[in-house]
Structure 1
Amino acid sequence: MKKLIYPIFLCCLLISVSCTENEDPAMACGVSDPIENLPWLKQMAENASSGGLSEFAYIAKAKYKGKRVFYLGSCCPNCSWALILYDCEGKTLTNEIGFDDLEDNEVIWQTADNQCAFSE
């Protein structure tokens, strides 16, 4: 009986490890183009592109505590703005979060006349 328990335990362990989902790096929130495929994010981009100081606006994706988040940023040299994170459903995260808390920052949208200098 003991000889049978170890193989069953090993199979269960392998099955549970193989079922963990890893997000494809090209995907965000289950879509390959979040600006086009997440309606709330598309609306955010449209609002930013038609608003004042649009040449300084951008949208970035990042990870916060392993979860995908988005934020609307500004590189306006004479402006101040607050970092507000949004989850995949467009809900804001209310914790006090700074850039040091984020991983894998990547700009995913900017206006055609954007003045921001992003480092690679």
Structure 2
Amino acid sequence: MKIRLFLALSLLTAALSCRDEDSLTRHLACGVRDPLNNLPWLKAQMDDARQKKEENITTVVATEFKGQQYIRVYKMYMSCSFCALYTCDGNPVDMSGLSTADQQALIKQVTEGQKQVTLWPER
């Protein structure tokens, strides 16, 4: 009986400890742990912001839209909060390839969506 209980608890623990590697958390975005330091293009942008003393006016947000993750790098002096939107590989998002409805939905997700995580500033 004890062996069955142990096996059942072990299986339950293993199942609950599994994580979705594509999930979106403060420490995991674009399938990378610590994206601010482990995505080379994003690290370069943050290093540049620090060098220019702009890290205190920079916000980095990871968001998900239609199963894809994106990263928005926003500086307070920018007039467009979704203009610096990147794919996980660091390429700017080309909105012209999207339908008008998808463009509007993506902009809404980026600016006020539910599934997003602030990567910087650290809180």
* TM-score (normalizing by structure 2): 0.58
- Where in structure 1 are there 5+ consecutive unaligned residues? 1-20, 112-117
Alignment of 1:48-59 (within 5 A): 48-51=49-52, 53-59=54-60
* Equivalent-residue separation in structure 2 for 1:68 and 1:62 (angstroms): 6
Counterpart position of 1:80: 79
Counterpart position of 2:108: 100
Aligned residues: 90
* Equivalent-residue separation in structure 2 for 1:40 and 1:48 (angstroms): 12
Secondary structure in 2 aligned to 1:70?
strand
Alignment of 1:1-120 (within 5 A): 23-26=22-25, 27-51=28-52, 53-76=54-77, 80-83=79-82, 84-95=84-95, 96=103, 99-102=107-110, 103=113, 104-110=115-121
| Higher-Rg member (1/2) | 1
Counterpart position of 2:11: none
1:68-91 CA-partner distances (Å, limit 9, x unpaired)? 100111335xx5245221111101
Over 3 Å counting, the alpha-carbon distance change for 1:65 and 1:37 in structure 2 is: same
* TM-score (normalizing by structure 1): 0.59
Secondary structure in 2 aligned to 1:62?
strand
Alignment RMSD, CA only?
Answer: 2.8
Q: Give the drift of 1:52.
A: 5.6
Q: Give the drift of 1:110.
A: 2.5
- Where in structure 2 are there 5+ consecutive unaligned residues? 1-19, 96-102
Q: Give the drift of 1:39.
A: 0.5
* Bigger proportion of residues as helix: 2
Q: Give the drift of 1:59.
A: 1.0
